[in-house]
């Protein structure tokens, strides 16, 4: 069964392909995504990697958590499910009054 991992502390230069390549050294990667800020188009400094099976995911956590990737020390752990958040008012923008 596939397991999704959270990868935090990424370098702003890390992209999806680089993230995938790093984790493919450990095992089969189903998907690798660096989260991008919509406004600036830059990386938010974190992403998600989905490993093909639990054993490879555990190996990836022990291999990369606290280690350097693209010049930055990264945090790797099992991703938690997204929590429900209340809807934003006015699309998240509130003008000055």
**Can you give the pTM of this predicted structure?**
0.83
Which residues make Cβ contacts (< 8 Å) with residue 28, sequence separation at least 6?
51, 52, 53, 56
Per-residue pLDDT of the chain (97 residues; tens, 9 = 90+): 789 999 999 999 999 999 999 999 999 999 999 999 999 999 999 999 999 999 999 999 999 999 999 999 999 999 988 788 777 666 656 566 5
Distance CA 83, CA 97 (A): 32
User: Alpha-carbon distance 44 to 82, whole Å?
Assistant: 17
Tokens of 24: 């493919």
| DSSP code per residue over 27-53 | S-EEEEEEEE-TTT-SEEEEEEEEESS
Ordered by where they begin, the domains of the chain are: 3-78 (3.30.70.330)
């Amino acid at each position: 069964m596939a397991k999704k991992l959270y990868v935090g502390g990424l370098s702003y230069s890390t992209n999806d392909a680089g993230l995938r390549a790093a984790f493919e050294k450990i095992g089969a990667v189903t998907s690798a995504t660096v989260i991008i800020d919509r406004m600036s188009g830059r990386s938010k400094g974190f992403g998600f990697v989905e490993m093909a099976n639990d054993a490879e995911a555990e190996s990836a956590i022990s291999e990369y958590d606290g280690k350097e990737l693209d010049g930055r020390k990264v945090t790797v752990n099992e991703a938690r499910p997204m929590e429900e958040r209340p809807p934003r008012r006015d699309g998240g923008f509130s003008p000055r009054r």
